[in-house]
Structure 1
Amino acid sequence: MKNQSLTHARKNMELTQEELAGMLGYQKATVSNWENGYSNPSLTDAFKVAEILGKDINDIFSGLKVQVSCTDNEKREVI
């Protein structure tokens, strides 16, 4: 599912995918994948994106699954 909220918020801040990715230490393809629904950010990255874009995390990632790291090094999806 495409994340149009993320795309809209990024464009409102006049940031390119490459610029946002650079702020997070990723390649442009990572942000593109998040926006196009091919992958989802970790919970930590979702909070960072929300902070950079000046939005509440729920406004950008509501209804999407994000990955959280557990103490036993497993990754689990949460809604």
Structure 2
Amino acid sequence: MKNHNLVKARKAKGLTQEKLANQLKYKKSTISNWENGYSTPKMEDAFKVAEILGCDIKDLFLNRKGQESHTMIM
């Protein structure tokens, strides 16, 4: 399932997938996989993403009902 919240937050911050990946020391394809629902970040990486994007982790990775929209690896 595509993570629209992550895509929207990244674009609102004016970052490309490549720029976000560079800040996290990952490949662009990793960010693409997270956004397209092919994989999910580890918990520590999810917190880093939220910090970089200036968002609450819940806004990026939980749906409106408060359930995980993407399973994060701990």
TM-score over 0.5 (shorter chain): yes
Unaligned runs of 5+ in 2: 63-67
Residue by residue, what CA displacement relative to the aligned partner does 1:14-59 show, whole Å, maximum 9, x if unpaired? 0000000000000000000000000000000000000000000000
Which is strand-richer, 1 or 2? 1
Tell me if 1:52 matches 2:58.
no
Q: Please identify runs of 4+ aligned residues in structure 1 that moved more than 3 A.
A: none
Superposition pairs of residues 18-57 of structure 1, within 5 angstroms: 18-57=18-57
| Equivalent pairs, count | 68
Tell me if 1:15 matches 2:15.
yes
Q: Which residue of 2 aligns with 1:77?
A: none
TM (normalized to structure 2)? 0.91
- Sequence identity (%): 59
Unaligned runs of 5+ in 1: 69-79
Aligned partner (choices 66, 69, 72) of residue 66 of structure 1? 72
Which structure is richer in relative contact order (CA contacts within 8 A, separation 6 or more)?
2
Q: Residue 49 of structure 2: SS of its match in structure 1?
A: helix
Alpha-carbon distance in structure 1 between the residues aligned to 2:33 and 2:71: 14
Q: Which residue of 2 aligns with 1:6?
A: 6
Backbone CA RMSD of aligned residues: 0.4
